[in-house]
Structure 1
Amino acid sequence: MAALVYFKKITEDPNAIVYSFGEDPSEMTRHLTMDRETRRSQPDDGSIDYSFLKASRKINAMFDQAKEWPERGMSVS
């Protein structure tokens, strides 16, 4: 079975970036906050599940590649 997660940057400040994410691009109802300095993220709802981990890891991987925080993206496996 395939796993799919979409994410989109919704706000940022000098310390953190907030992304919405979810399994459908029209229903990205959850949020994660990424710390710019440590590159660690926290789910705003406190639920550390597969979708959260998948989105967080993909965001960090895209940052590693482009050296800038992605505006949007997706991860599929």
Structure 2
Amino acid sequence: MASLVYFKKISEEPHSIRYSFGEDPDHMTRDLTMDIESRTATPDDDRIDYTYLKASRKINAVFDERSQWPERGMSVS
């Protein structure tokens, strides 16, 4: 069984970036905030679950590859 998570940048501040994320690209109902310096994500709803972990890890992985925060993306496993 495949697992999908989509994410999209919704705002960027000097020290943080907010992303919406979810299992449906047309209906991402949750947000996370990424601290740019520590590269630590925090779910805005305080729910640390598989979908949140998958999104935050993929965002960091893309940053590792490109040295740039992604505008959008997805993770499939």
Question: Identical aligned pairs, as a percentage?
Answer: 70
RMSD: 0.3
| Contiguous gaps of at least 5 residues in structure 2 | none
What is the CA–CA distance in structure 2 between the aligned matches of 1:35 and 1:29, rounded to whole Å?
20
What TM-score results when the alignment is normalised by the length of structure 1? 0.99
Deviation at 1:21, TM superposition (A): 0.2
What TM-score results when the alignment is normalised by the length of structure 2? 0.99
Q: One-letter code of the match for 1:15?
A: H
What is the CA–CA distance in structure 2 between the aligned matches of 1:21 and 1:38, rounded to whole Å?
20
Deviation at 1:54, TM superposition (A): 0.1
Deviation at 1:43, TM superposition (A): 0.2
Deviation at 1:10, TM superposition (A): 0.1
Once the two structures are superposed, what CA deviation does each residue of 1:17-73 show, in whole Å capped at 9, x if it has no partner? 000000000110100000000000000000000000000000000000000000000
Partner of 1:2: 2
Q: Hey, which bits of structure 1, 4+ residues long, moved more than 4 A?
A: none
Aligned length, in residue pairs: 77
Partner of 2:31: 31
What is the CA–CA distance in structure 2 between the aligned matches of 1:27 and 1:47, rounded to whole Å?
18
